[in-house]
Chains A and B, each alone.
Chain A
Amino acid sequence: MSTATITPELIVQHQLSESEYRKIVSILNREPTYTELGIFSVMWSEHCSYKSSRLHLKKLPTGGARVLQGPGENAGIVDIGGGYAIAFKIESHNHPSFIEPFQGAATGVGGILRDIFTMGARPIAVMDSLRFGRPDDPVSGARNRRILDGVVSGIAHYGNCFGVPTVGGECLFEPCYDGNPLVNVFALGIFPKDQIFYARASGAGNPVIYVGAKTGRDGIHGASMASAEFSEESKQKRPNVQVGDPFMEKLLLEACLEAMRTGAIVGIQDMGAAGLTCSTCEMGSRGGVGVEIDLRHVPQRETGMSPYEIMLSESQERMLLVAEKGREEEVFAVFRKWGLDAVTIGQVTGDGLLRVKDHGRVVAEIPNRELADEAPLYDRPHSQPLRRAPMEAPVFGGGDPGEDLAAILASPDVASKRWIWQQYDYMVRTNTVAGPGGDAAIVRIKETGASIAMSLDGNPRFCYLSPREGARLNVAECCRNLSTVGALPVAATNCLNFGNPERPEIMAQLVESIEGMAEACRFFETPITGGNVSLYNETLGEGIYPTPVVGVVGLMKTTQPVTIDFKSEGRAILLLGGLGDCDETRFGGTQYAKVVVKELWGLPPALDMEYEKCVHAAAREIVAEGLAESAHDLSDGGLAVALAESSFGPAGIGADITVESRLRPELLLFHEGPSRILLSSAEPGRVARIAERHSVELVRLGETVRGRIEVRNREVVLISDEIGRFQRGWEGALEEYVR
């Protein structure tokens, strides 16, 4: 093996520490080659190795009766009954989306889709959790709008062409995302549960086959880029961003699923982050075998690529598979039919080594297990979570509640996201029972008569004020979303977006978020079956709010969905869970605090998980009994926003309610306490009996009326206006900003 001179500068360039380099030398028992240095640097990057988070991720619950596959594979797998299973996961593509929004977001969709179909599942739904800087910021607004536009177009481009519906998601805006937009993509697929494929190589002598797009120089060191902060020079990293081809991915999907049906495939993994490097050594490590390849056989779309470049390329739409020896032709025939490259590039060996040859000459030889699974593990110091917000509330309130409500409804966070989701094909495959714009998306499974409900949530303001409580609230909110549409939450996936973990106050945010999420996931019985960690979301030293995003999936019978809008006049308006309570301190993370007071303070709303769970159970029963004509959970903007959004349906039905509360108007109308669901029903008596059985408070607020929103506390009129006054701003705000 030729040995290039490995200088200290070269080691620093590869983002490897001195001790990490020493560990490499001890594993190899010699100095690494240049190619080997590159291979270690990507596999041991934060992005691929989770070296800062792994210790804490172990605290998450991962098992359960329905869980067929937990973390460690390409996606988690959950049994949904009827002989079928779902595979799902959420992943970030934050760094690339900042550098090149369109391609960054597009390839984010592509990457997570491959994670799903590499297991044999056909993707049937995508959702996105997005964070941007404020579109109306006088300084950074123009750039933020450009990033928003690029990201949305990129997601649309990839998902629409591939033919998977983008059925929902969430999108929030904060100044901390100015230089650090977040693009988290969730995907879910379906398959018979006895036809699961794993990313494991086995059987010495079996051929290792490369399929899909040719390898180019794009995306080299993408994984390492995603493991560092951004500086002024980051724009020079544009070549590190890959370019997506959804058409190629669609062909790859069909060809892979068809090839799997031949029975000749032993194991398969997509080439995502760290490309050929990651897929070879991980498949080898999982199977406890060696993998030997010769780069001469790798299809290349550029000439003169070095072994280093080929091994580190993150060209998209590629897969690596191991087939049964002697049955290669069956696999090749399928890929030929779809017009795709499929070539044997090597074989499985018994020696446990990743051996990379270039025209027969060995350029890298590394033990798979040490490379893939024994990356350095750091117990990074953590102190108190960073927060620069005061605990004490400022003086606020006294404005006209109607005006406040209109302002909150027209603010970027709360305003209708139709401008975004109308660019996504949310119906293709004709399974979308409830699409974007509701509390949870619902996709039916044609094969079984069951439906899957899903919801994403990550409230950055709550998590900044208290990472632990915020993370618990996120899980509670997702489970409440699902219960509101009648689904039983069964499993979850997470995407942990944070700043630089080498800062103890940021590391503390990560640790406390994970612990809060673990506690809530355990309590709500939604084990985390997989996910992703994205650290170093910092530009020029400015980090993001801690943003742990959780996605929860639930099961329900396939039936007409209950939607959020009021349908007819004269129905009882009920608040399941009660009006709730809140003081000034617990009000500091609300949309009112953000939009009207323009401050952030105190703590997130208090959560009683026991009570929350009872509310979920009651809601599911009410929906299953067909007693809810509409249902909408209370979250951003509290009671007033939920009432308004429920009034924005096609029927033009609003609300006339009178409450009895000692809370001051701002708190009463806009506090964001959890455990509350707004219902309209023709049978309030039956709803009340169910609520009582679950020991849940039910308040009858008033009734539905045509065209108006009227809210009184005892005799005091708080809001009295036509629906239109509120609806116009809510519907058009986002489009106004973007235009």
Chain B
Amino acid sequence: MRFGVIVFPGSNCDHDAWYAVQNNLGQPAEFIWHRSPSLGQVDAVILPGGFSYGDYLRCGAIAKFSPVMEAVRRFAAAGGPVLGICNGFQILVETGLLPGALMRNAGLRFVCKRVRLRVETTRSPFTSEAEKGQVLTFPVAHGECRYVADERTLDELEAEDRVALRYLDNPNGSLRDIAGILNRERNVMGLMPHPERVTEPLMGSNDGLTIFRSMAAAFALAR
């Protein structure tokens, strides 16, 4: 399974995502420059963390105009799996591929620490290898990551089983403790915590591999 990692100017977790997939998952990964109009022959797309365009306007607001995002939209519409991590989640929200918005942390400060997450659904190509209710520990490293949406949207997300991960110790004031969500078709997931940072014992745990293994398993199943 071939992964494409999008590189925007200011992406800084691009190499981490690439390394997690290539070395720790053991699947090939390649970088895709943001000006590229096509994704080439990839089977999944990762929008990595970082500060695309410096995030000076609103996180992810400029990245959505990058030529590659047109290709990502088409890829997602065709059912291809798209994973947005941290800044990648913000970009997916700005692009409209996922609902809601990400606001300044409730504590008004950047926060970097490990947090516990509960897997809320296994009905997705990103969580199928987990158990429902399983607790995973991922790091967060973010300043503007409080998930918000109107009540109707939140109700809808819950009713449609689209909340993928919830914080057990909410670090940023996200509504209903939401850490990661799915689109209606369940092939696009955005999450604030960083699974790619915990994909080998030396980094403290393997918990993050669950997400990437799920993607590989879903791909194998679909073939």
Binding site for B on A (CB under 8 A): 153, 156, 160-163, 245-248, 250-251, 338-339, 421-430, 432-433, 444, 446, 558, 560
Contact = CB atoms under 8 A, between A and B. Distances in A.
A433 B113 CA distance: 14
Given A245-B54, A247-B56, A560 B112 contact: no
A427 B86 CA distance: 14
B202 interface: yes
Contacts of A162: 12
Given A423-B111, A429-B16, A160 B141 contact: yes
Contacts of B49: 428
* B9, B19, B53, B112 pick with most chain A CB within 10 angstroms: B112
B202 A433 contact: yes
B2 interface: no
B10 interface: yes
A245 B54 CA distance: 8
A726 B111 CA distance: 25
B197 A163 contact: no
Contact of B19 (A426, A430, A558): A430
Given A430-B16, A430-B197, A246 B54 contact: yes
Nearest to B17: A430
Nearest to A255: B9
A256 B36 CA distance: 21
B55 A161 contact: yes
A156 B143 CA distance: 10
A297 to B, nearest CB: 25
Contacts of B143: 160
B20 A163 contact: no
Nearest to B33: A337
Contacts of A160: 51, 110, 141, 143
Contacts of A433: 202
The 5 nearest A-B residue pairs measured at CB: A163-B12, A247-B54, A425-B141, A161-B51, A430-B16
A169 to B, nearest CB: 14
A430 B51 contact: no
B90 to A, nearest CB: 14
B139 interface: yes
A465 B20 CA distance: 51
Interface in B76-113: 109-113
B182 interface: no
The winner among A156, A161, A426 for most chain B CB atoms within 10 A is A161
8 contacts: A156-B110, A161-B55, A247-B56, A250-B10, A421-B112, A427-B203, A429-B15, A444-B202
Contact of B12 (A250, A422, A558): A250
B40 interface: no
Interface residues on B, range: 20 to 34
Given A429-B15, A432-B203, 10 more contacts: A160-B110, A160-B141, A161-B51, A163-B12, A163-B13, A247-B54, A247-B56, A425-B110, A428-B49, A560-B202
A558 B9 contact: no
A250 to B, nearest CB: 6
A422 B111 contact: yes
B207 interface: no
A423 B196 contact: no
Contact of B139 (A161, A248, A427, A558): A427
Nearest to B201: A560
A251 B10 contact: yes
Contact of A247 (B19, B53, B111, B139): B53
A246 B110 CA distance: 15
Contacts of B51: 160-161, 163, 246-247, 250
Contacts of A427: 112, 139, 141, 194, 197, 203
Contacts of B190: none
A714 to B, nearest CB: 42
A423 B107 CA distance: 11
B50 interface: yes
A351 to B, nearest CB: 40
B10 A423 contact: no
B54 A161 contact: yes
Interface string B187-223: 0000000101101011100000000000000000000
Interface in B4-47: 9-10, 12-13, 15-16, 19-20
Given A161-B55, A247-B54, A428 B113 contact: no
A423 B110 CA distance: 5
B110 A558 contact: no
Contacts of A421: 112
Contacts of A423: 109-112
A433 B204 CA distance: 8
B188 to A, nearest CB: 24
A164 to B, nearest CB: 8
Given A422-B113, A423-B112, A251 B9 contact: yes
A570 to B, nearest CB: 25
Given A161-B51, A338-B9, A558 B202 contact: yes
A247 B16 contact: no
B218 to A, nearest CB: 24
Contacts of A426: 112
Given A163-B50, A560-B201, A430 B110 contact: no
B29 to A, nearest CB: 14
A581 to B, nearest CB: 40
Nearest to B199: A430
A243 to B, nearest CB: 13
A428 B12 contact: yes
Contacts of B201: 560
Contacts of B111: 422-423
A422 B113 CA distance: 7
Contacts of B9: 247, 250-251, 338-339
Contact of B10 (A156, A161, A428, A430): A161
Most chain B CB inside 10 Å of its own CB: which residue of A162, A422, A427, A560: A427
A430 B20 contact: yes
Contacts of B54: 161, 245-248
Contacts of B197: 427, 430
A218 B9 CA distance: 25
Contacts of A446: 19
B19 to A, nearest CB: 6
A250 B199 CA distance: 25
**Residue in A247, A251, A339 with the greatest tally of chain B CB atoms within 10 Å:** A247
Interface in B166-203: 194, 196-197, 199, 201-203
Contacts of B139: 427
Contacts of B55: 161, 247
A523 B89 CA distance: 52
B20 A422 contact: no
B14 to A, nearest CB: 9
A685 B186 CA distance: 58
Nearest to B202: A433
Contacts of B112: 421-427
Contacts of B16: 428-430
Nearest to B200: A430
A161 B16 CA distance: 15
Contacts of A429: 15-16
Given A161-B10, A161-B55, A338-B9, A430 B196 contact: yes
